[in-house]
Copies of this chain bind each other. A is one copy, B any other.
């Protein structure tokens, strides 16, 4: 797959950075190592000072790329959702049957992440873990409405909307398509978190995947015989 998409770039709202991190080597290292570090020590303990030390650069240089770590998190999350959106569109585009299409969409949105060799400086598996553990913190803030207006969440919203449309195609009379779409996308993150930390609160494990659960949930609530 990677060969086809060497030239694909995820486009991110330019208000999320001061200087585009894709435009320089240092910028890419900031992104690359911040993913490792946030994953390692958690977003709360992560600081630009520590990141600077790790990449042998200066704190003040990192501030020339990102205003603060909150924006860096929004950037990383946007990249992740943009990347997922790309896969979603690519995988479902050519499927004419709405049921099969939705089924494939749910798979894309709820499956365990795999590495994409097209982006060498981004570890998608770790980024997925960051999204599971930290994404909520990016919008559970007092500034969410302002930041939403600024367009910091457009990719995520577009992605949920794509899911919603596919749900509508399966059952146009279903009155909760937006809620079901957001439940699947946000719920998948939550189920993965529970698998790691609160196993008694989920039915998912190595043999029963979140994908299976959400497929069953979606097709039954849409009154369609479950494909999965």
Taking a contact as CB atoms closer than 8 A, the residue among B141, B181, B208, B217 that contacts A42 in the complex is B141
Please report the C-alpha to C-alpha distance between residue A208 and residue B42 in the assembled complex, in whole angstroms: 38
Is A114 at the interface (CB under 8 A from chain B)? no
The reply to whether B220 and A145 contact each other, CB–CB distance below 8 Å, is no
A: interface residue count bin: 35 or more
Considering only CB atoms, which chain B residue lies closest to A133 in the complex?
B140
Q: Residue-by-residue, is A175-203 near B (CB-CB < 8 Å gives 1, otherwise 0)? A: 11111111100110011011001101111
Interface centre among A140, A187, A221 (most CB of B within 10 A): A140
- Give this chain's copy count: 2
Contact B216 A203 (CB under 8 A): no
A63 contacts B by Cβ under 8 Å:
no
Contact with B along A68-103 (1 / 0, CB 8 A): 000000000000000000000000000000000000
User: Which one of A6-14, A21-29, A117-125, A153-161 contacts B?
Assistant: A153-161
A141 / chain B contacts, CB cutoff of 8 Å: 42, 44
Given A183-B187, A187-B183, CB of A201 within 8 Å of CB of B42: no
A residues with a Cβ closer than 8 A to B are 41-42, 44-45, 133-134, 136-137, 139-142, 144-145, 148, 153, 157, 160-161, 175-183, 186-187, 190-191, 193-194, 197-198, 200-204, 208, 210, 213, 216-217, 220-223
Chain B residues near A133 (CB, 8 Å)?
A: 140
On whether the beta carbons of A191 and B203 are closer than 8 Å, the reply is no
